[in-house]
Structure 1
Amino acid sequence: MISLRLNVSEDGQTIHGRHSRPSNSINATVENIPTDVMMDIFSRLSSKSIATCRCVSKLWVSILGIPYFTELFLTKSYALPRLLFVCEKDSELIVFSTPQPTNPYKHSSPLAATYHMKIPFGRYCDNIRPIHGLVFIRNEQRFKLESVICNPTTRQTLTLPKPKTRKRLRIHSYFGYDPMEKQFKVLSMTERDGISDEHQVLTLGAKKLSWRMIECCIPHHPKYEGICINGVLYYRASVDKSSNIFVIVCFDVRSEKFSFIKAMEPFIIDAHLINYNGKLGLVMSEGLPYISGRCRSFKMWVLKDSQKHGWFKNTYELPPLWQYEIAGELLHFVGVTGTTNEIVFSPTYLSYPFYVLYYSFEKKTIRKVRIQGMGGFKQNNWVQMFIDHVEDVRLM
């Protein structure tokens, strides 16, 4: 196989190619290299190299902006998912990522974290949700709530316009993605007298970002975080603010229609929502949405049929050494990896050394993976972790 090495001229318009065979040296301009060949070459580069290539010439910028190329790069990124970390420090969110371990039976070496960007977040941040390479953040800035979309790969941020609403009303917002139409949408609703009101949707990618009013057939009071799985956004709610009757709201991102799953058991309001192999999962330990070293097991419910409201339930026993591995720490349920079918636990606060833990459903064992490179933080800085993050090089 002939290998081609590319060198860029000073004007950025000429590529000199050199075969590994010295007798066949060539000189070619960019115009003479087919675009599909150029895109294939670019798709083999790292996201950092892609950013550098965008500075070379207008021609390269246009090639790297072709939708086919960005989808090609994204498809390859799905084969190499990453762990995403969002850390709090001095009223800023610091974003890192590392490669995601893919072989659960191989001894895991420490993973090196790559720094991406900083995002101001004000007094508090109540909603962070990565989907399909983008990250939705809802935070308070200068005593005003605002929603921001950021792309850790390109280091871009986009502040969303405020929903059309009356003053002094609480706003709930959720981030969703439709894989069929390849569209990102934000669902927002105001709260009036303990009930959601003025349901609105904003679609990213439009020439002018604006909110559209939509109808919701059943009044409800949204609670806690949401999760988007295969084009359906799930979040928990009660029938009103003071009610103990709970439902799971299902919002179809494509059709923008609501449906509801009745809560037949009290676990729905307390458990943590995760993606379990493309299905909605709820996980908890001893009645809490997190796990500690004192716990001996955890429970998980998986939605098998959203129409019949049926659930699978399993209890997973932790190995005897669990309490010595965790000691007094509290860990979050992060999610189930799509590549290794393990559930991941992450500490709530940074510590040194910093580890994340993987529990194998198959072997009933725990493995620890050390994360390096998130230096400069104090002990006990808050950190949130996400799995199966992908790199998206399209510009917002």
Structure 2
Amino acid sequence: MGLEETEEDNTRPVSIPHELISEILTRLPVKSLARFQSVSTQWDSTITHPSFCISHLTHSASRASTTLILTFINRFTSDRNIFSVSIPPNGNGSGVNPTRVLTIPGFAHPFVSQSLNGLICLNMGSMCVCNPSTRKFVKLPWTQTEVADKRCLQPQVAPIRHRANAFGFDPVTNAHKVLDTWITCHDNDENGIIIEQRVFTIGTGCDKWRRIAEGPSYFPFNESVCINGKIYFRAYPSMIASEKPVMVVFDVHSEEFQFIQMNDDLISDSEDTVLMEHDGHLAIVDHQGVTNGEVNAIQMRVLIDEKDGKWVKKCVKIPEKHSEMKDRQRFIFTGTTFTGEMIFAERKLVNPFHVFFYDIKKNEAKKVKICGLTEFDFSYSNVLMNVTSVNEHVESIKSLT
């Protein structure tokens, strides 16, 4: 009798605590979580809760494999094609296959941000923020200057307008923000240069840009990188030709600006240099320059003290066997991994498509072959596809609304 009771007890359904279920769910891919949201109202509430999104992001970032997000612009149709590819830890030289995430129609602007906690930002005419994991995107409201054209002394002379954007993440509030800068210039009015800055916060339910009152004047380069809650980009402080560029720092949380001087002409105004993170600091990298005849040398300037504006020089020689990634006609520096490796990728969509990962600290590089990109059905020709970004990405369930 006792045995029968034991067997009967074993057939009874076991109730699993919801806390344990939640912990299991944080370890699943986003594709599975999207299906499991329909299991019950409780599961849907759990998966969409902000604290769950943070826990899931933490587990995603701890995985051994590297996920890359590749974006291409079709120069004929202006479509932005986004792919993801997972590279195993020992993926050196092996061929890996990509997954097509989505295609976003729009304006063929080259701006694509780094991946910040699962989201990327693109300029599609209006700004667009995309979560490649959920395959969803949202186009932000169009912004325009609030400055009336009445500043023109001659009504028939239209003002010149320039727009620049940057994408950042606030680790204090876990909020993603887009910084939008408009510069309006009236050629016939020496006092007619007006700078306007606005900020859009993703996922708050508010679909309006907020104007930053009394923001500083600057003329930004078409670049930006976000490090530890701060957005960095170079800019001219005025239209005076003799003035040197400065580094602009935008604190994503406080929404305040800071200017840092740069005394090295090599890094201050060269368009061949790029911004990246190096050991938690901002670094300006001349990835195509020559140092004392060393064609395969990478020059860096690292900002080690923001308060005093202190930069240090660093020069690293690329191993001769991987010198092909310095071929300007074929490869471009497109971004970095979360561990600080530099990513060099093919300029054009070719098969196979090669990506280099260069570890500055170890002075080592690995070449990864990505197969099958040209097998996708693109409108018109593959030769019209330009690479705009290749960045490491982490899966996120974060909502855009």
Instruction: Please state which band the TM-score falls in when normalised by the shorter chain.
Output: 0.7 to 0.9
In structure 2, what is the Cα distance between the partners aligned to 1:252 and 1:328?
A: 34
- Please state how far the C-alpha of 1:307 moved relative to its aligned partner: 1.1
Structure 1 vs Structure 2 CA RMSD = 2.7
TM value normalised by structure 1: 0.82
In structure 2, what is the Cα distance between the partners aligned to 1:316 and 1:231?
A: 28
Whether 2:296 is the aligned partner of 1:296: answer: yes
What is aligned with 2:397? 393
Q: 1:22 to 1:98 in 2, by over 3 A?
A: farther
Q: 1:273 to 1:107 in 2, by over 3 A?
A: closer
- Please state how far the C-alpha of 1:326 moved relative to its aligned partner: 6.5
Report the number of matched residues: 359
Whether 2:115 is the aligned partner of 1:128: answer: no
Deviation by residue 1:45-96 (Cα, 9 ceiling, x = unmatched): 2221112222444343222112222111111111135211012234211111
Query: Does 80-89 or 356-365 show the bigger shift?
Result: 356-365
In structure 1, what is the Cα distance between the partners aligned to 2:384 and 2:8?
A: 58
Tell me the secondary structure at the aligned position of residue 188 of structure 1: strand
Q: 1:45 to 1:25 in 2, by over 3 A?
A: farther
What is aligned with 1:209? 207
In structure 2, what is the Cα distance between the partners aligned to 1:33 and 1:135?
A: 37
- Please state how far the C-alpha of 1:323 moved relative to its aligned partner: 4.6
Deviation by residue 1:358-387 (Cα, 9 ceiling, x = unmatched): 223344343211113423252462123333
What is aligned with 1:310? 310
8 Å CA contact 1:77, 1:391 repeated in 2? yes
In structure 1, what is the Cα distance between the partners aligned to 2:71 and 2:42?
A: 35
Unaligned runs of at least 5 residues, structure 1: 1-20, 141-145, 289-293
Q: 1:253 to 1:324 in 2, by over 3 A?
A: closer
8 Å CA contact 2:195, 2:216 repeated in 1? no
8 Å CA contact 2:68, 2:392 repeated in 1? yes
Pick one of 3, 6, 13 that aligns with 1:27: 13
What is aligned with 2:223? 225
What is aligned with 2:268? 268
Q: 1:358 to 1:228 in 2, by over 3 A?
A: same
Q: 1:212 to 1:363 in 2, by over 3 A?
A: closer
Deviation by residue 1:79-119 (Cα, 9 ceiling, x = unmatched): 1352110122342111111225546xx74532332221111
Tell me the secondary structure at the aligned position of residue 76 of structure 1: helix
What is aligned with 1:10? none
In structure 1, what is the Cα distance between the partners aligned to 2:194 and 2:222?
A: 14
In structure 1, what is the Cα distance between the partners aligned to 2:12 and 2:83?
A: 41
What is aligned with 2:173? 181
Tell me the secondary structure at the aligned position of residue 125 of structure 1: coil
Tell me the secondary structure at the aligned position of residue 22 of structure 2: helix
What is aligned with 2:286? 284
Whether 2:178 is the aligned partner of 1:172: answer: no
Whether 2:81 is the aligned partner of 1:94: answer: yes
% identity of equivalent residues: 29
8 Å CA contact 1:189, 1:196 repeated in 2? no
In structure 1, what is the Cα distance between the partners aligned to 2:231 and 2:73?
A: 26
In structure 2, what is the Cα distance between the partners aligned to 1:328 and 1:233?
A: 27
Deviation by residue 1:107-165 (Cα, 9 ceiling, x = unmatched): 4532332221111123x21311132111111123xxxxx11111111111111112352
Counterpart residue type for residue 81 of structure 2: I
- Please state how far the C-alpha of 1:206 moved relative to its aligned partner: 2.3
Whether 2:185 is the aligned partner of 1:193: answer: yes
Unaligned runs of at least 5 residues, structure 2: 1-6, 149-158, 187-192
What is aligned with 2:30? 47
**Structure with higher strand content:** 1
Whether 2:357 is the aligned partner of 1:358: answer: yes
8 Å CA contact 2:343, 2:358 repeated in 1? yes
8 Å CA contact 2:283, 2:303 repeated in 1? yes
Tell me the secondary structure at the aligned position of residue 126 of structure 1: coil
Which fold has the larger relative contact order, with Cα–Cα distance below 8 Å and residues 6 or more apart in sequence? 2
In structure 2, what is the Cα distance between the partners aligned to 1:191 and 1:183?
A: 26
What is aligned with 2:155? none
Counterpart residue type for residue 125 of structure 1: H
Whether 2:123 is the aligned partner of 1:156: answer: no
Q: 1:372 to 1:55 in 2, by over 3 A?
A: farther
Q: 1:319 to 1:196 in 2, by over 3 A?
A: farther
